[in-house]
Copies of this chain bind each other. A is one copy, B any other.
Amino acid sequence: MRQTDVRPSPNAVWLRDNCACPQCRDPRNGQKLRSVTDTDPGVRVVELTAAKVVFSDGHVGVPPEVTPYADDRIEDAKDLWARIDPPCGDWAAFETDPAHREFCLDAVLRVGFVLLRGVPDVLTAAAGFGYVRETNYGRLFDVRVEATPVNLAFTGLPITPHTDNPYRDPVPTVQLLHCLSNAVEGGDSGLVDGFHAAALLRAEDPAAFATLTSTPVTFRYADSGAELTATRPMIGLDPRGRIREVRFNNRSLQPVRPEEADAFYPAYRAFAEILYRPELQVTFRLGPGDCVVFDNTRVLHARTGFADTGDRHLQGCYADLDAIASGLAVLRRRPVPGAVDTLRALFAGPGTADYLGEDVTQAVHMLQTAACAKAAGAPPALVAAALLHDVGHFTGEITGHDLMAGTDNRHSHVGADWLGRWFGPAVTEPIRLHVAAKRYLCAVDPAYYEVLSEASKHTLRVQGGPMDAAEVAAFEAEPYGRDAVRLRRWDDEGKDPARPAPAFDDFAPLLASLVER
């Protein structure tokens, strides 16, 4: 480039303002050391390479790296959901395993919540996610329901989905609810993805969506020591019109101006009716030690009704999303462990969980399945498939806790997709098809059904029962259908508490040889 060149793009002012040389940007923290007004608006680029830029003001600098940052708080950065299996975490693993901590933090940011087991107390959990947002309710607050209620809110009445504290600004962006006791019948917890509901409203009733995004409404709470009001729209958008925040709580909503009521109420009701749809709500029961952590700008929480005999005691506190995102970003700086180390940790950690309805742990079951494959002379990829066929239960998306409830017929796909980061289709596809193979075998081999364990017979029903003729034909056309059938038969054999299981490390060299990426 010649001395006299003017480069309109990339913009010279942009390059000068973002110069990455140590005079312009602190090398320790990346902060810029200059003001935008320090740049001559007529500055030109005289010379530009990947490592060096010379400006017409004489400065010799370094072009910036451009990271494509995007707003991580809008709907586009989220996984919207209806009725999903709750992402579940375990407090002991959270404290000791960075990968598990990463999974939990990511779940709050992307899914909107995580359900943690084994949490000692709510402030300890909050410290794992960031910083407590202290309010007039204290650093933590009690949600206690007693046999003799002194207040309507302390009865067993159901509480419809709502966000907390919409009368604050800034609203607490994270809420934690920790269960100390829940000895009542009923009193289950429910969560709704408010971003998903708002997106449905936009699709189904654009006028209502426009009203709720453009009408500031006032929420208010007052007691003897506090009087909080905040005036915001129920659905907050970013400047580009993307959903960014939901505030929904009829208890604290103040009367809108009477002249706004005709437009507001039909819109408000339309949104409420979507939020209250049972098919949008995840329900679960908090037991002692359970703690749900959720994005209070997005996820509404609810409680089903219960018989008000017995005690139910939760403790809650507030925190903020930005610290969770910071913690996650720092966690992700660590070197990523390879396939074998990651899988070894899965077998040693979550794999030791009970295999519900069976007499072996999940890890033992998979090791026995792999031993069967090896004894049958299967090729290495199929031995690996046998070893890893149930990892979908541990990768966080599906937890296994709800396996018997019939909500899991996807662990085969989840596991195959997850393993795809390292392995080719000869490993992943028999895994993907191994649940279908059971339905196939029950259709083509009547004797097969008889060898199933009682638990496996139960899950067959929730998995869809035996295949029909068209499904059988489609299955037989699958390139890895035959491998999946072989894997399936070893799977059924690998549930024997009396048989010794090989060690994970017996298969480590085989796994390492199969890693493709």
CA distance A401 to B118 in the complex (A): 59
Considering the complex, which residues of chain A in the window 171-208 have a beta carbon less than 8 Å from any beta carbon of chain B?
171, 173
How far, in angstroms, from A453 to B32 measured CA to CA in the complex? 52
Interface 9-mer from A78-86, A214-222, A303-311: A214-222
Known interface pairs A66-B257, A229-B69, A231-B70; A168-B34 also in contact (CB < 8 Å): no
Q: Are B231 and A72 in contact (CB under 8 A)?
A: yes
| Residues in B whose Cβ lies below 8 Å from that of A341 | none
* Interface set, chain A 1-59, CB cutoff 8 A to B: 8-11, 13-14, 17-18, 26, 28-37, 39, 41
Question: How far is A474 from B35 in the complex, measured between Cα atoms in Å?
Answer: 49
Q: In the complex, A8→B233 CA distance in Å?
A: 24
- Report the minimal beta-carbon distance from A268 to chain B, rounded to whole angstroms: 5
| B29 x A222 contact (CB < 8 A) | yes
A129-137, A279-287, A384-392, A489-497: which lies at the interface: A129-137
With A29-B221, A32-B252, A69-B218: A233-B227 Cβ-Cβ less than 8 Å: no
Which of A64, A167, A238 is most buried by chain B, counting CB atoms within 10 A of its CB?
A238
Given A258-B14, A261-B11, A322-B170, A153 and B216 touching (CB < 8 A)? no
- A251 and B33 contact, CB distance less than 8 A: yes
Known: A30-B222, A135-B323, A220-B30. A255 touches B14 (CB 8 A): yes
Whether B31 lies near A257 (C-beta < 8 A) is no
Q: Which residues of B contact A509 (CB under 8 A)?
A: none
Contact between A325 and B228 (Cβ–Cβ < 8 Å)? yes
Determine the chain B residues whose CB is within 8 A of the CB of A258 once the complex forms: 9-11, 14, 66
CB neighbours of A223 from chain B (8 A): 28-29
Which B residues are in CB contact (< 8 Å) with A266?
Answer: 41
Q: Which residues of B contact A31 (CB under 8 A)?
A: 153, 221, 251-252
Q: Is A353 an interface residue (CB 8 A)?
A: no
**A480-514, CB under 8 A of B: which get 1 and which 0?**
00000000000000000000000000000000000
Verify A220–B69 contact, CB threshold 8 A: yes
Residue of B nearest to A172 (CB): B170
A335 an interface residue at 8 Å Cβ cutoff?
no
What's the Cα separation between A272 and B131 when bound, in Å? Answer: 33
User: Bound complex: CA of A28 vs CA of B36, how far in Å?
Assistant: 53
Contacts of A257 in B (CB 8 A): 66, 68
Answer yes or no: A399 CB below 8 A from chain B CBs. no
Most chain B CB neighbours (cut-off 10 Å) among A160, A227, A325: A227
Question: Do most interface residues of chain A lie in helix, strand or loop, or is the interface mixed?
Answer: loop
User: Size band of the A side of the interface?
Assistant: 35 or more
Residues of B within 8 A of A254 (CB): 67, 69
Taking the complex as formed, is A405 at the interface, i.e. its CB lies under 8 A from any CB of chain B? no
Asked whether any CB of chain B lies closer than 8 Å to the CB of A230, the reply is: yes
A41 with B269, Cβ < 8 A, contacts A11-B262, A214-B239 known: yes
Q: Nearest CB to that of A238 among chain B residues?
A: B216
Q: Is A329's beta carbon under 8 Å from chain B?
A: yes
Contacts A231-B70, A231-B71: A131 and B131 contacting too (C-beta < 8 A)? no
Question: In angstroms, how far is the closest chain B Cβ from the Cβ of A156?
Answer: 14
Interface contact A231-B276, CB-CB below 8 Å: no
Chain B residues whose C-beta falls within 8 Å of the C-beta of A342 in the assembled complex: none
A42 to B195, CA, bound (A): 29
One of B9, B222, B237, B269 near A36 (C-beta < 8 A): B269
Q: How far is the CA of A167 from the CA of B226 in the complex (A)?
A: 29
A164 interface contact, C-beta 8 A = no
Q: How far is the CB of A360 from chain B (nearest CB, A)?
A: 42
* Chain A 249-277: CB-based contact to B (< 8 A → 1; otherwise 0): 01111111111011011101100110010
Report A190 CB to chain B, min CB distance, Å.
14
Contact at B132–A325, with CB atoms within 8 Å? Answer: no
User: How distant is A150 from chain B, measured CB to nearest CB, in Å?
Assistant: 11
For chain A, residues 123 to 161, give those with C-beta under 8 angstroms from any C-beta of chain B: 131-136, 151-153, 160
Residue from the set A31, A221, A231, A237 with the largest chain B CB neighbour count within 10 Å:
A31
Q: How far is the CA of A173 from the CA of B253 in the complex (A)?
A: 23
A69: chain B residues at CB < 8 Å are: 218, 220, 229, 231, 254
* Closest residue of B by beta carbon distance from A268: B36
What 5 pairs across the A-B complex have the smallest Cβ distances?
Answer: A170-B170, A227-B329, A14-B261, A11-B261, A71-B231
A-B contact pairs, 10 of them (CB 8 A): A29-B221, A36-B269, A41-B269, A66-B257, A68-B257, A69-B229, A73-B169, A131-B136, A168-B322, A226-B326
